[in-house]
């Protein structure tokens, strides 16, 4: 149901503090998932566009890294305020292109803002260390310096928050930044760039190039890009990590997820069911920290499945921009059909479909809607367990013991987030100690760390050494330099060919 391109807006790049005037060679459609109508066309960057952005960022770097910390902080405070003043506008843009509800869009803006607020503390975060009198008359100290031009490649599901995870700390550290957002949701990044410009971020410090794989390939190959931050699916994360590091770049590449919620027999069933429904179906399951598998231990399984099943009909499905909607559509028709395909194969794989989201109410809508689905008796080794579904489909795996449940979670190739629901502090502590995942919730279903910790999974959910944002983000966007200094006293100076020893 596409409109003619003549009627749609052309969304293009932001380079050097202005909208790029380059004519597009290739473009792609941008959809409103709630209506199924194309709302814009986005310009896909050519190699020349990427090269132009990198050259612009490179020439801005010299001035930006010299900009005093106090001025950078002031600009970041302004940026924080500009975003805060434009929350409604940003939320509407996010909801229009991504489909999530306005409340959810406001949630991601709030979590993104936390990262700008963290970066406002850059003066304290960049403090080095100093050792006086390491040797007689010799002092040793370490400073952290920016890398240069760095790039971020982001997914469709958090059009504002994930770019803010990256760019806030990257520019605060003195780097210049090129953002390549998801081509499905290009407008939020442009609005952020505009707000940053209004806040006083100098031209060329923050640039946005739109596009698909070709733009990413050019960023990965460009010799002037020092580091790449990536968030998206596991196959792409792995390939970006391999190519980027082979090309000598620092890379942190966060991938997909299959987040398990272990529910012990002593858990409060009603609150565990509330948490499961919220975490599985919020944003139509399109969150990297969504709960997609419940591991129900022993006697809790029957009442828990019944409690979740009872809650599903109450979820208000509708356009994200409509007041009262709790769950919006999926991002594209193709993704909706892909997610629905897991329900087609689930029965044959031995699962039971407790609630089927492929209902009439959703099918008759124009947008890319799919209702909430609940699968029970799901087993590892089946497609709906092994693959990341990334939609409103919650699977229940039944086990008899805590140890059996833990084994299933630890055997899973993904290790992003996980949660335990129990009233037993000892069991929760044991789980925290034994589970193999990067982020753990104890009676908290979506344990996204606050901005002064760092975000990242284990195993196939992250390629690289450093997690995103927080202290590890500052480490990622800077490199250390150690200075050994002596201010010679001419009276004690002499030739000494021995290896320097700190005495
Ligand atoms: P995606 O991997 O398809 O795309 C992510 C980005 O990579 C986009 O900017 C896209 O244009 C680009 N891209 C896509 N294919 C590419 C290729 N072959 N080569 C180079 N670049 C390519 O992911 P998506 O569908 O936008 O987002 C959903 C995925 O992201 C899910 O797997 C989800 O779990 C994951 N995700 C992970 C986290 C996390 O923190 N670990 C957070 C959000 C989303």
Q: Is 212's C-beta closer than 6 angstroms to any atom of ligand 1? A: yes
* Same domain, residue pair 294 and 232: no
Q: Are 176 and 38 in contact (CB under 8 A)?
A: no
> Rounded to an integer, what distance in angstroms lies between the CA atom of residue 164 and that of residue 179?
10
pLDDT of residue 493: 81
Ligand 1 centroid–CA 37 distance in Å is 23
Residue 240, in any domain of the structure? yes
Task: Supply the residue whose CA is at minimum distance from atom 42 of ligand 1.
Answer: 288
* Same domain, residue pair 399 and 420: yes
Choose the catalytic residue: 173, 288, 362, 384. Answer: 288
Residue 427, in any domain of the structure? yes
Ligand 1 centroid–CA 429 distance in Å is 33
pLDDT of residue 141: 98
Residue 461 CA: nearest ligand 1 atom is: 41
> Which H or E run includes 259?
strand 259-263
The residue among 147, 133, 162 whose CA lies nearest residue 58 is 147
Residue 183 CA: nearest ligand 1 atom is: 11
Q: Is 195's C-beta closer than 6 angstroms to any atom of ligand 1? A: no
Q: Please give the DSSP secondary-structure letter assigned to residue 57.
A: H
The residue among 145, 154, 237, 134 whose CA lies nearest residue 484 is 134
pLDDT 10s digits, 128-150: 999 999 999 999 999 999 999 99
* Same domain, residue pair 470 and 434: no
Q: What phi and psi, each to the nearest 5 degrees, are found at residue 363? A: -60, -30
Rounded to an integer, the average pLDDT of 188-204 is: 98
Give how far Cα 128 sits from Cα of 143, 206, 221, 457, 480, Å: 5, 26, 32, 28, 9
Ligand 1 centroid–CA 65 distance in Å is 30
Task: Supply the residue whose CA is at minimum distance from atom 13 of ligand 1.
Answer: 213
Ligand 1 pocket: which of 45, 186, 229, 232 to mutate (most atoms within 8 A of CB): 232
Q: Is 154's C-beta closer than 6 angstroms to any atom of ligand 1? A: yes
Task: Supply the residue whose CA is at minimum distance from atom 38 of ligand 1.
Answer: 288
* Same domain, residue pair 305 and 211: no
Task: Supply the residue whose CA is at minimum distance from atom 34 of ligand 1.
Answer: 256
Residue 41: which residues within 8 A CB-CB, separation 6 or more? 5, 8, 9, 10, 11, 24, 27, 28, 29, 30
Show the domain range for 224. 5-255+461-482
Q: Is the pLDDT of residue 5 over 50?
A: no
Confirm whether pTM is higher than 0.90: yes
* Same domain, residue pair 416 and 269: yes
> Rounded to an integer, what distance in angstroms lies between the CA atom of residue 227 and that of residue 473?
12
Quickly tell me which residue has 């707000």 as its tokens.
195
* Same domain, residue pair 9 and 157: yes
CA 287 to chain centre: 9
Rounded to an integer, the average pLDDT of 7-30 is: 91
Instruction: Please tell me whether the interface predicted TM-score (ipTM) of this complex is above 0.95.
Output: yes
Q: Is 332's C-beta closer than 6 angstroms to any atom of ligand 1? A: no
Q: Are 30 and 18 in contact (CB under 8 A)?
A: no
Q: Is 187's C-beta closer than 6 angstroms to any atom of ligand 1? A: no
Residue 398: which residues within 8 A CB-CB, separation 6 or more? 296, 301, 376, 377
CB neighbourhood size of 21 (10 A): 8
- The tally of domains found in the chain comes to 2
Residue 454, in any domain of the structure? no
Q: Whole-angstrom distance between the N-terminal and C-terminal Cα of the chain?
A: 77
pLDDT of residue 501: 77
Residue 494, in any domain of the structure? no
Q: Please give the DSSP secondary-structure letter assigned to residue 317.
A: B
Q: Are 370 and 339 in contact (CB under 8 A)?
A: yes
CATH code of the domain in which 281 resides: 3.40.309.10
pLDDT 10s digits, 378-394: 999 999 999 999 999 99
Residue 453, in any domain of the structure? no
Rounded to an integer, the average pLDDT of 177-193 is: 98
Rounded to an integer, the average pLDDT of 197-217 is: 98
Q: Is the pLDDT of residue 502 over 70?
A: no
Residue 181 CA: nearest ligand 1 atom is: 9
Residue 493, in any domain of the structure? no
Label residues 158-170 b or e (16+ Cβ within 10 Å = b). bbbbbbbbbbbbb
> Rounded to an integer, what distance in angstroms lies between the CA atom of residue 297 and that of residue 260?
12
pLDDT 10s digits, 254-294: 999 999 999 999 999 999 999 999 999 999 999 999 999 99
> Rounded to an integer, what distance in angstroms lies between the CA atom of residue 454 and that of residue 467?
6
* Same domain, residue pair 412 and 270: yes
Token duo for residue 127: 């403090």
Residue 503, in any domain of the structure? no
The residue among 150, 154, 158 whose CA lies nearest residue 251 is 150
pLDDT 10s digits, 396-430: 999 999 999 999 999 999 999 999 999 999 999 99
Quickly tell me which residue has 């407008």 as its tokens.
187
Residue 211 CA: nearest ligand 1 atom is: 11
Q: Is the pLDDT of residue 46 over 90?
A: yes
* Same domain, residue pair 207 and 73: yes
* Same domain, residue pair 271 and 214: no
* Same domain, residue pair 218 and 351: no
Token duo for residue 17: 């503090």
Token duo for residue 246: 């082979």
CA 47 to chain centre: 25
> Rounded to an integer, what distance in angstroms lies between the CA atom of residue 69 and that of residue 123?
6
Give how far Cα 372 sits from Cα of 29, 77, 354, 380, Å: 27, 40, 10, 21
Ligand 1 pocket: which of 219, 233, 463 to mutate (most atoms within 8 A of CB): 233
> Rounded to an integer, what distance in angstroms lies between the CA atom of residue 80 and that of residue 495?
56
* Same domain, residue pair 177 and 297: no
Q: For the chain, give the percent of residues with pLDDT over 70.
A: 98
> Which H or E run includes 132?
strand 129-135
CATH code of the domain in which 36 resides: 3.40.605.10
> Rounded to an integer, what distance in angstroms lies between the CA atom of residue 439 and that of residue 456?
7
- Strands, DSSP E only, in 14-119? 14-15, 18-19, 26-32, 37-44
Give how far Cα 304 sits from Cα of 246, 263, 313, 420, Å: 48, 9, 16, 14
Residue 496, in any domain of the structure? no
Q: Is 229's C-beta closer than 6 angstroms to any atom of ligand 1? A: no
Residue 182 CA: nearest ligand 1 atom is: 9
* Same domain, residue pair 213 and 285: no
Ligand 1 centroid–CA 362 distance in Å is 26
- 288 catalytic? Reply is yes
């Amino acid at each position: 149901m596409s409109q003619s391109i003549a009627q749609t807006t052309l969304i293009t790049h932001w380079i050097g503090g202005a909208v790029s005037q380059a004519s597009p060679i290739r473009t792609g459609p941008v959809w409103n998932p709630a209506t199924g109508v194309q709302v814009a066309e986005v310009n896909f960057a050519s190699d020349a566009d990427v090269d132009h952005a990198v050259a612009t960022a490179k020439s801005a770097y010299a001035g930006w890294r010299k900009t005093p910390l106090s001025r950078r902080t002031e600009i970041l405070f302004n940026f924080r305020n500009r975003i805060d003043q434009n929350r409604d506008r940003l939320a509407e843009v996010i909801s229009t292109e991504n489909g999530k509800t306005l409340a959810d869009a406001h949630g991601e803006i709030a979590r993104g803002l936390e990262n700008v607020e963290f970066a406002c503390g850059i003066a304290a975060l960049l403090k080095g260390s100093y050792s006086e009198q390491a040797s007689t008359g010799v002092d040793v100290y370490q400073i952290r310096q920016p890398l240069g031009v760095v790039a971020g490649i982001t997914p469709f599901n958090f059009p504002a928050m994930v770019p803010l995870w990256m760019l806030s700390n990257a520019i605060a550290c003195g780097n210049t930044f090129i953002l390549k957002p998801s081509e499905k949701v290009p407008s939020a990044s442009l609005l952020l760039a505009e707000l940053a410009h209004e806040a006083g971020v100098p031209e060329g410090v923050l640039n946005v190039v739109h596009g698909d794989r070709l733009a990413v390939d050019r960023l990965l190959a460009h010799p002037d890009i020092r580091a790449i931050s990536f968030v998206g699916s596991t196959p792409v994360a792995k390939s970006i990590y391999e190519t980027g590091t082979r090309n000598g770049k620092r890379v942190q590449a966060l991938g997909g997820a299959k987040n398990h919620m272990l529910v012990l027999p002593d858990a409060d069933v009603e609150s565990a069911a509330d948490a499961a429904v919220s975490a599985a179906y919020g944003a139509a399951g399109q969150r990297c920290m969504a709960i997609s598998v419940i591991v129900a231990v022993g006697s809790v399984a029957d009442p828990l499945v019944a409690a979740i099943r009872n809650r599903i009909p109450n979820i208000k499905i509708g356009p994200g921009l409509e007041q009262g909607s709790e769950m919006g559509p999926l991002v594209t028709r193709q993704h909706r059909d892909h997610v629905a395909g897991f329900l087609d194969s689930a029965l044959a794989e031995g699962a039971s479909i407790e609630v089927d989201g492929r209902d009439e109410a959703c099918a008759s809508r124009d947008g890319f809607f799919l209702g909430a689905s609940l699968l029970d008796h799901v087993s590892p080794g089946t497609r709906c367990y092994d693959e990341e579904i990334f939609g409103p489909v919650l699977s229940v795996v039944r086990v008899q013991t805590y140890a059996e449940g833990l084994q299933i979670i630890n055997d899973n190739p993904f290790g992003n987030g996980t949660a335990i629901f129990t009233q037993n502090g000892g069991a929760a502590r044991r789980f925290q100690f034994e589970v193999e995942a990067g982020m753990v919730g104890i009676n908290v279903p979506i344990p996204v760390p606050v901005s002064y910790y760092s975000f990242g999974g284990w195993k196939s959910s992250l390629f690289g050494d450093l997690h995103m944002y927080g202290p590890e983000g500052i480490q990622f966007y800077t490199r250390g330099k150690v200075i050994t200094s002596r201010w010679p006293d001419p009276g004690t100076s002499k030739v000494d060919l021995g290896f320097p020893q700190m005495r």
